[in-house]
Each structure stands twice: as structure tokens, then as C-alpha cells.
């Protein structure tokens, strides 16, 4: 590991990274706009310039060079000595900030980026308090560049991150810089709007409020949002995200750095696919069907209701007539608690992995990658935890059934009771399942939306969306990633973990860690979680 000297202090850093990245990783704050660790380096913003020691060509002695060097473009080398705490560097930062703010409108009060804007932060930290500009400011137009993105050209600082993202990660290259100098603008080509499936990321990497999300536009001020570390439930890639919520409502999802899984990115499908969380059609009442009548018991009665009903089935038809359909939308903890509980009542109960929705094929980015390894993948398997459910079923052992076998056995009236878990945001009940449901005497349905399963069920347990739950998902590569709840469950619902923990007979209150510790005794794999490394405080 090379050691470099920054402002007289020696820091140890990773090999083959720019000085800027090394300083950021050591906890320092160097202003930068154009540098992004996931994109190529252009050194165009000139904010991160530093002084460097180099040998004097005449005397061969190491001296501070008269000119400044971009720290984002200078790779680290053992023994390299640089400094940021000099007047020359600080003057450069102040002058750069003044240039950036020459034509920037003072519309922070109505700008959605305010509060997480690096023009605000750097202006406060490295800039001047007033502007010397006396001429009228250039006013560039507001442009509608794509179905999900707006471009406010006058807020732009020309860092070209968005352009490089579209070229290098999305591989579609819709954005370009047109014109030169103070007339330079980001724009799309005529008739070719920004329509790639990763376009939400250009909004994230924009350090200022130039690129904005139409979906989030003017919805909330960012300082009201509380972030929870979560994992996207949109597909099996398992991108780590933050759920940004305020007053019980999810407002947006943002990707969270996770090297090797989603890096800095996430797809639009996941980013904007959380709307079903607040769908008014969601089930929100624990319901028990008694003949034609519907009864709405209290949540505290649930353990007794399900235990009594399952026990009576076991007494009548034997322990082998019970099946549990675990959904690939459940967290591992929930699936384990449910399966263990049913196995306590009916030791021969069959465990079934529910159907995983498949849409199209896996999609790799950049588009047209010419055989280069993909930088981002959107998976065809549109559920977050199929691997996890399979791990739980294998770990618990005992009788298992594939979903088709389960349908066949149900059709042959071999199954008298089934706890069927749904949780899919889309319609998931196929005709074969609809037909099979008629042959099952006791159906306990746990789902978020009304479906054919809840119509046929004796006990309907309203489930929560992933944003309201906590636990862990196992992604397509087998990485076990924990996620936290972003919001409280909607009125009438309870966290799946909470009631399953009560049904399971756990002590005290549910916490995902507690259940994971119990699981790890049975399945040691669950003792090892994949938690992405922290992002340097001043990096963006």
C-alpha cells in the first residue's frame, strides 16, 4: 500500500487510485464536482487542484511546483507529497466557486436540490459570501429531456458527470454538451430524448440542482426526509438503497454504494416502483371467514386462531396434509419463523417456494458493451429473495415440494391446509393455483393485495410491503443483505416480522437481528451478512 504525504500528514492508501480519492477516504474534504469514482476522469471542474512536490529540473531538489495539479487526475505514488492547505490552493478554490456562481440563479428556496447541494455546501465552505458580478445573469432554458428527468440549464456547473454516465454506464449516450465556454449547455440530440433505464442516476450524480427527478419534483424538501438503509425489492439483483420517507410516506428511493452488487447505481424500475406501498387497495384488516360472515379479530388473537385451526387439520387429516407456500417476497427471518412455527404444529408439513415472477431477460449495462464486463444488471427475476427462501427450505430439511408439485397434490386433494404467502406488487395468482385453491379446506392467506387466494382464504393476514419491514434478502449472487424498515406499517397492518414472531412464540419484541441469531444456530450461513463498506464522508 503506497503512503503519501498530504499537508504534512502521512496517509496510507489503496493502490492505483487518484490522490483525491485517497484524501477523501482518509476523511479529508476536497471540493470536487466532475470526479466520480464510478466514471472516467476528465478533470474539468478545476476545484480539486493541489500543490505537489516535484524535482526541480536544474537542481534536482524536491520543490513545490509553481503550477497546480488536479488531484483527481494524479495517481497516488509512494512518497508523493501534496498540499491543499496553502494560499495558492485556497485562492483557486475561491476563484473557481466565484466562476461557478457567476450565472447560477439564487433560487435555492425553490430548488429541489437545496439541502443536499454541493454548490451550497462548497459555497459556504470554500466560496465568498458575496458575488462581484454586476452584469445581468445568463438565463438558460428549462428543458424537458426525458420522461422522468428535467434539466434546469441555468443551474448547471458543467461537470459532465451525466454525459459520462450515459456514455459509460448506461451505454446509450443520449446527453451531450453543446456550445462552448459560457454558452455551453447540457442537451439531448433532437428527437432522441433521455430514455435509458438508468436515467434516474443522472439526477443522483448531479452535484447541483440541474437535473431533477420529475417524480420527486417539488414534492418534499430533502431535510424533512428520514433515510433508512434498505435493499430494493424490485428484482433479484439486491441493490442496496435508502428509503427516504417523511410522515409515514415513502417519497423516493436512492441507491446506496455497494461495490460488486450495484456500485453507485440503481435502475428506474426499482427507483420508481415503490408506489404500490401507498396503494389504497391494500389489505389492511386481519380477517377470519366464519361461513358467509366476516370477522375482524384483534392482532393479538392471531397466534391462537392459526394454531387452533392448523391443529384441528392435523388431527383430522394428519401432519402430512399441511403445506406452507413461502413467497420470494418474504424476508429470510419471516420465512424461517413461519416455516418453523408450522413445523412445530405439523412436523411433516411440506415447504414450498412460491412462484418467482419472471419478466423478459437479464439486462446488462452498458448497452453494446462489446464483451466488457457489465457495470450494472437488471434481473429478469422480479422478486428479491428467491435464493433466501430456497436456503431456508434446504436448511430446515424435511418434506419439500416444488410449486407445481404442490398444485398437483392440492388438485389430488392431498393437502388439507395451506399457509400461502403472496406479497407481490403485481397480480401473481395463476389459473392453476386458482383451480387448486378449491381443493384446499383451510387456506391462510398472507398478502398485500386482494387476490384469488385471499378470496378463498379462511384467514386473511394483511402483509406489509418491504419498505415497512426489516430483515434480510439473499440476492442472485447469494449475498445476504440486511434491510431496515423505512416507514411504519399503514393503518390496520402490522409488520410481518412482528406477528410472525408472536405466532412463532418468540420472547419479547421482534427484531431481525435476534431472529437471525437464532437462525444462524441452525444455518450458519446467516451469521455472515454482506454489508457494504461506508462511503467517505465528503465523497459524492
Partner 1 sequence: MTAKPDWKQTDIIHVDQPELSMTERMYLPQIFGGMKTTLRHMFKKKLRDETVVQYPEQKRQLRKEIYRGVHRLNRDDQGRVACVACFMCETACPAHCIHIEGAESPWPDREKYPIKFDIDELRCIYCGMCEEACPVDAIELTPEYHLVGGSREEMIFDKEKLLNIFDRTKDEKPRKNPNITGY
By CB under 8 A, name the binding residues for partner 1: 105-107, 109-110, 217-219, 221, 223-224
| Host H or E run for residue 416 | none
Is the distance from CB of 252 to CB of 486 less than 8 angstroms?
no
Q: Which is nearer to partner 1, 220 or 227 (CB)?
A: 220
Q: Which is nearer to partner 1, 216 or 428 (CB)?
A: 216
CA-closest candidate to residue 17, choices 7, 4, 30: 4
Q: Minimum distance from CB of 163 to partner 1 (Å)?
A: 25
Q: Which is nearer to partner 1, 105 or 273 (CB)?
A: 105
Q: Minimum distance from CB of 224 to partner 1 (Å)?
A: 8
Q: Minimum distance from CB of 105 to partner 1 (Å)?
A: 4
Q: Which is nearer to partner 1, 38 or 209 (CB)?
A: 209
Coil, helix or strand for 25? helix
Q: Which is nearer to partner 1, 247 or 298 (CB)?
A: 247
Q: Which is nearer to partner 1, 136 or 191 (CB)?
A: 136
Q: Minimum distance from CB of 219 to partner 1 (Å)?
A: 8
Rounded CA gap, 45 and 208, in Å? 13
Q: Which is nearer to partner 1, 109 or 371 (CB)?
A: 109
Q: Which is nearer to partner 1, 214 or 414 (CB)?
A: 214
What is the 3 state secondary structure string of 108-157? HHHCCCCCCCHHHHHHHHHCCCCCCCCCCCCCCCEEECECCEEEEHHHCC
Q: Minimum distance from CB of 152 to partner 1 (Å)?
A: 9
Q: Minimum distance from CB of 346 to partner 1 (Å)?
A: 51
Q: Which residue has the cell 420472547?
A: 507
Q: Minimum distance from CB of 212 to partner 1 (Å)?
A: 11
Rounded CA gap, 418 and 420, in Å? 6
All three cell numbers of 312: 384441528
Distances (CA, A) of 513 to 327, 332, 471, 523: 21, 11, 8, 14
All three cell numbers of 245: 420517507
All three cell numbers of 235: 428484482
Distances (CA, A) of 13 to 30, 48, 325, 413: 16, 18, 49, 65
Is the distance from CB of 113 to CB of 212 less than 8 angstroms?
yes
Q: Which is nearer to partner 1, 218 or 359 (CB)?
A: 218
Q: Minimum distance from CB of 144 to partner 1 (Å)?
A: 12
> Which residues on adjacent β-strands are paired with residue 151?
143, 211
For residue 286, what is the DSSP state?
Answer: -
Q: Which is nearer to partner 1, 148 or 495 (CB)?
A: 148
Q: Minimum distance from CB of 109 to partner 1 (Å)?
A: 3
Q: Minimum distance from CB of 251 to partner 1 (Å)?
A: 13
CA-closest candidate to residue 152, choices 165, 163, 139: 139
Beta strand 175-178 with 185-188 is antiparallel
Phi, psi of 139 (to 5 degrees): -115, 115
Rounded CA gap, 11 and 19, in Å? 11
Is the distance from CB of 226 to CB of 213 less than 8 angstroms?
no
Beta strand 480-483 with 471-474 is antiparallel
Q: Minimum distance from CB of 218 to partner 1 (Å)?
A: 4
Q: Which is nearer to partner 1, 84 or 152 (CB)?
A: 152
Q: Minimum distance from CB of 243 to partner 1 (Å)?
A: 21
Q: Considering just the CA atoms, what is the radius of gyration of the chain in Å?
A: 28
Q: Which is nearer to partner 1, 107 or 477 (CB)?
A: 107
Q: Which is nearer to partner 1, 217 or 344 (CB)?
A: 217
Q: Which is nearer to partner 1, 111 or 283 (CB)?
A: 111
Cis check: omega of the bond before 366, within 30 degrees of 0: yes
Coil, helix or strand for 14? coil
Rounded CA gap, 290 and 306, in Å? 14
**How many CB atoms sit inside 10 A of residue 40's CB?**
10
Q: Minimum distance from CB of 106 to partner 1 (Å)?
A: 5
| Host H or E run for residue 392 | helix 386-396
Rounded CA gap, 20 and 33, in Å? 12
Distances (CA, A) of 293 to 290, 420, 445: 5, 21, 17
Q: Minimum distance from CB of 476 to partner 1 (Å)?
A: 39
Amino acid at each position: 500500500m503506497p503512503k503519501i504525504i498530504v499537508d504534512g500528514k502521512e496517509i496510507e492508501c489503496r493502490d492505483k487510485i487518484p490522490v483525491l480519492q485517497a484524501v477523501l477516504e482518509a476523511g479529508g474534504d476536497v471540493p470536487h464536482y466532475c470526479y466520480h469514482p464510478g466514471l472516467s476522469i476528465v478533470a474539468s471542474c478545476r476545484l480539486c487542484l493541489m500543490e505537489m512536490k516535484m524535482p526541480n529540473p536544474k537542481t534536482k531538489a524536491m520543490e513545490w511546483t509553481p503550477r497546480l495539479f488536479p488531484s483527481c487526475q494524479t495517481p497516488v505514488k509512494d512518497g508523493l507529497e501534496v498540499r491543499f492547505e496553502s494560499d495558492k490552493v485556497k485562492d483557486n478554490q475561491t476563484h473557481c466557486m466565484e466562476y461557478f456562481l457567476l450565472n447560477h440563479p439564487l433560487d435555492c428556496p425553490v430548488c429541489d436540490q437545496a439541502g443536499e447541494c454541493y454548490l451550497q455546501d462548497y459555497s459556504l465552505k470554500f466560496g465568498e459570501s458575496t458575488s462581484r458580478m454586476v452584469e445581468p445573469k445568463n438565463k438558460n432554458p428549462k428543458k424537458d429531456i426525458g420522461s422522468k428527468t428535467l434539466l434546469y440549464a441555468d443551474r448547471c456547473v458543467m461537470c459532465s458527470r451525466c454525459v459520462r454516465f450515459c456514455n459509460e454506464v448506461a451505454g446509450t449516450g443520449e446527453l451531450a454538451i453543446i456550445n462552448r465556454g459560457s454558452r455551453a449547455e447540457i442537451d439531448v440530440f433532437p428527437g432522441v430524448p433521455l430514455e435509458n433505464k438508468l436515467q434516474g442516476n443522472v439526477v443522483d450524480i448531479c452535484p447541483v440542482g440541474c437535473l431533477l427527478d420529475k417524480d420527486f419534483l417539488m414534492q418534499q424538501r430533502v431535510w424533512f426526509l428520514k433515510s433508512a438503509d434498505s435493499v430494493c425489492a424490485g428484482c433479484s439483483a439486491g441493490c442496496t438503497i435508502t428509503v427516504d420517507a417523511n410522515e409515514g410516506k415513502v417519497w423516493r428511493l436512492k441507491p446506496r454504494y455497494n461495490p460488486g452488487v450495484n456500485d453507485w447505481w440503481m435502475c428506474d424500475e426499482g427507483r420508481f416502483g415503490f408506489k404500490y406501498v401507498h396503494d389504497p387497495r391494500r389489505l389492511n384488516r386481519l380477517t377470519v371467514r366464519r361461513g358467509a360472515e366476516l370477522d375482524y379479530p384483534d392482532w393479538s388473537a392471531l397466534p391462537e386462531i392459526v394454531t387452533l385451526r392448523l391443529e384441528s387439520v392435523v388431527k383430522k387429516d394428519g401432519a402430512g396434509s399441511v403445506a406452507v407456500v413461502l413467497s420470494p417476497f418474504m424476508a429470510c427471518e419471516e420465512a424461517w419463523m413461519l416455516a418453523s412455527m408450522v413445523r412445530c404444529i405439523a412436523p411433516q408439513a411440506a415447504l414450498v417456494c412460491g412462484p418467482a415472477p419472471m419478466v423478459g431477460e437479464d439486462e446488462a449495462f452498458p448497452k453494446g458493451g462489446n464483451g466488457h464486463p457489465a457495470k450494472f444488471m437488471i434481473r429478469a427475476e422480479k422478486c428479491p429473495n428467491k435464493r433466501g427462501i430456497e436456503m431456508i427450505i434446504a436448511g430446515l430439511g424435511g418434506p419439500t415440494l416444488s410449486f407445481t408439485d404442490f398444485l398437483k397434490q392440492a388438485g389430488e386433494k392431498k393437502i388439507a391446509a395451506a399457509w400461502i404467502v403472496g406479497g407481490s406488487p403485481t397480480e401473481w395468482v395463476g389459473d392453476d393455483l386458482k383451480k387448486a385453491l378449491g381443493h384446499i379446506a383451510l387456506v391462510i392467506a398472507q398478502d398485500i393485495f386482494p387476490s384469488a387466494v385471499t378470496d378463498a382464504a379462511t384467514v386473511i393476514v394483511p402483509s406489509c410491503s418491504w419498505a415497512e419491514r426489516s430483515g434480510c434478502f439473499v440476492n442472485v449472487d447469494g449475498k445476504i443483505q440486511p434491510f431496515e424498515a423505512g416507514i411504519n406499517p399503514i393503518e390496520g397492518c402490522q409488520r410481518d416480522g412482528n406477528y410472525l414472531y408472536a405466532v412463532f412464540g418468540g420472547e419479547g419484541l421482534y427484531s431481525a437481528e435476534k431472529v437471525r441469531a437464532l437462525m444462524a444456530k441452525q444455518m450458519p450461513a446467516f451469521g455472515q451478512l454482506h454489508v457494504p463498506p461506508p462511503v467517505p464522508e465528503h465523497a459524492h
